[in-house]
Amino acid sequence: MSIRVLIADDDPIVREVLRTTLRREPKVEIVGEAINGADAIQLAAQLRPDVLFLDLLMPVLPGMDALRELGSQGSEDIEIDIIVLCASIDERQIIEALQLGARGILLKQSLKHLHQCLRAVVDGYYWVEDRRLSSTTEIIGELLAATSIAGPEQAYNLTKRELEVISLVTLGNTNREIAEALSISEETVKRHLANIFDKVGMSSRVELAMFAVEHHLIAAA
């Protein structure tokens, strides 16, 4: 069975490189191309590709906004593995993209890894920049490996349990999964989240995840 691919990038040269490279893989079928985020959403709904290569910087609707919109359509059975394309990306954007449903982050200067990235994502793994990773837990661990965690409890008046909840939210866990992991009720999880949002001034899980990584609010394993 072939892998049906949709390409979304406003740069015709990048689209040509992607098209040419992907066509060297006999099991890949390019089903369409989009030149902005709005077109990407429309074509994704119409063509139902297996994989969408989505540029972050596009006119009309930027890639991150398109990713957010596609994620909100999950209830409509639009199941697409999304690989974000970018010239550069920071920790905050990586976390945001993953929280919004991206399975891969591929730098445009590393398109030599295109086939490896595609195969990893199709096989159920994540791909970040130039390496295959098995889970968001592993990704977060690598992002935090070079950083030091210095007293977030004091800085934001967070309890140990609140830091545990933040860590699990950052790893993409639902309230039910957090409750099971910490052996508490979902209502207790909701209360912890309400307190956390109030303390750090965030209003959504995606914002909290990005804030947590940026400010090192990850409880030690």
In one-letter notation, the amino acid at residue 198 is D
Distance CA 192, CA 80 (A): 32
Task: Give the confidence band of 201 by pLDDT, cuts at 50, 70, 90.
Answer: confident
CATH class, 3-135 region: alpha beta
Q: Is the dihedral of CA 167, 162, 169, 38 positive or negative?
A: negative
**In the prediction, which pLDDT does 78 show?**
61
Is-contact 137 128, C-beta < 8 A?
no
48-65 residue pLDDT tens: 999 999 999 898 898 889
Q: Is the pLDDT of residue 81 over 70?
A: yes
pLDDT value, residue 10: 95
Per-residue model confidence (pLDDT) at position 219:
54
Query: Which CATH number is associated with domain 152-214?
Result: 1.10.10.10
- CA proximity to 212, closest of 120, 91, 78: 91
Over residues 179-207, mean pLDDT:
90
Give domain limits for the chain.
3-135, 152-214
131: how many CB neighbours lie within 10 A of its CB? Answer: 15
Segment 130-154, tens digit of pLDDT: 888 887 777 776 666 544 444 455 5
